[in-house]
A and B are shown apart, each in its own frame.
Chain A
Amino acid sequence: IAGITQAPTSQILAAGRRMTLRCTQDMRHNAMYWYRQDLGLGLRLIHYSNTAGTTGKGEVPDGYSVSRANTDDFPLTLASAVPSQTSVYFCASSASGDTGELFFGEGSRLTVL
């Protein structure tokens, strides 16, 4: 059972470079989310998608873009990386109904130099 798969697991990136973090889920969940986690600040929502074809901005969307072409994939793109985007990025998904709990991927650790 894969659940949610993120790639890469870890990446060091030069400032100004473009980077896409990949996220794929096999649970057929409607909703998907991208969070960043920084020490002392907790998890902050970057972008989300309630269903394929739609996206929305979270708490900290600037410098990031997402797309949701199908149910399974939700890539996060940094168009021109800056050092303040150094963080651990978590992708998550949830199903409609019930508790709607989030299931998280294992995270992608990104360092921008």
Chain B
Amino acid sequence: GQNIDQPTEMTATEGAIVQINCTYQTSGFNGLFWYQQHAGEAPTFLSYNVLDGLEEKGRFSSFLSRSKGYSYLLLKELQMKDSASYLCAVRDKDYKLSFGAGTTVTVRA
């Protein structure tokens, strides 16, 4: 099974940088995902890591350390539209995805 932990809430100022940490314990690791979910909407895919290191995609980057069971999502140049919940998810060897409870990020002007 999976045990996925991430902070409940974070607040940051427009234009700043925020780092959302995620730790996990899994019986069979097969990839880590980050999703964004705006209130009342469906989650949408942000990033995927299966090997150690940093994946960069525009203002968003995601890092993975498999030996430490640790990932982070980095949001740069924050915009008001980035206010949302960010979900860390771990895929197992059977291709099932388990999600953390999510981190609600509030961007303030």
Task: Identify the A interface with B (CB < 8 A).
Answer: 31, 33, 35, 40-45, 48, 50, 56, 58-59, 90, 94, 99-107
Chain A residues near B44 (CB, 8 Å)? 104
A104 touches B101 (CB 8 A): no
Residues 91-106 of B contacting A (Cβ, < 8 Å) = 91, 94-102
A43 touches B87 (CB 8 A): yes
Chain A residues near B42 (CB, 8 Å)? 90, 104-107
Closest to B45 in A: A101
Smallest CB separation, B31 vs chain A (Å): 7
- Chain B interface residue count, CB cutoff 8 Å, equals 22
| Docked pose: A15 CA to B92 CA in angstroms | 35
Smallest CB separation, B56 vs chain A (Å): 15
Return the contact of A59 from the options B35, B94, B98 (Cβ within 8 A).
Answer: B98
Chain B residues near A48 (CB, 8 Å)? 96
Chain A residues near B87 (CB, 8 Å)? 42-43
Chain A residues near B48 (CB, 8 Å)? 99, 101
